[in-house]
């Protein structure tokens, strides 16, 4: 089995380079989660103007509305972007840990041959 050389500096550079994108993705996800409440409230108000009196009916209409469904799709996309970046960061951290382990093994091997 051939060992692929791991460059820990490249992994760290990657994390630094992607940190802003990750922060923006996290901010977008949180914004979309909070905006969902606003979209729901606006759609409930619109349902009230259409004559739906009870909050339960307004809520049902809000959840079934096209703007709410569109918002959920946008939220889905925001979460996907954030999760992809998060797992790329996790992978970069794992590469560093593998490199550390390989280096420790190399040092132990060097001591054993003395």
Q: pLDDT, tens digit, for every residue of 16-56?
A: 999 999 999 999 999 999 999 999 999 999 999 999 999 99
At residue 114 the predicted structure's pLDDT band, cuts being 50, 70 and 90, is low
The model carries a pTM of 0.73
Domain borders along the chain are 8-112
- Count of CA atoms in the C-beta half-sphere (13 A) of 58: 17
Residue pLDDT, tens place only, 51-100: 999 999 999 999 999 999 999 999 999 999 999 999 999 999 999 999 99
Quick one: pLDDT at residue 3? Answer: 62
**Residue 28: closest CA among 114, 94, 108, 86:** 86
Helices 55-64, 66-112: inter-axial angle, 10-degree rounding:
60
């Amino acid at each position: 089995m051939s060992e692929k050389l791991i460059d820990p500096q490249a992994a760290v550079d990657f994390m630094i380079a992607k940190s802003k994108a990750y922060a923006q993705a996290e901010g977008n996800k949180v914004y979309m989660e909070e905006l969902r409440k606003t979209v729901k409230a606006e759609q409930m108000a619109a349902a009230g103007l259409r004559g739906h009196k009870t909050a339960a009916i307004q809520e049902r209409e809000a959840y079934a509305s096209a703007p709410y469904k569109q918002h959920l799709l946008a939220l889905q996309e925001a979460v996907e972007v954030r999760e992809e970046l998060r797992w790329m960061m996790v992978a970069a951290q794992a590469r560093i840990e593998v490199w550390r382990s390989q280096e420790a093994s190399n040092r132990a091997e060097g001591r054993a041959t003395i």
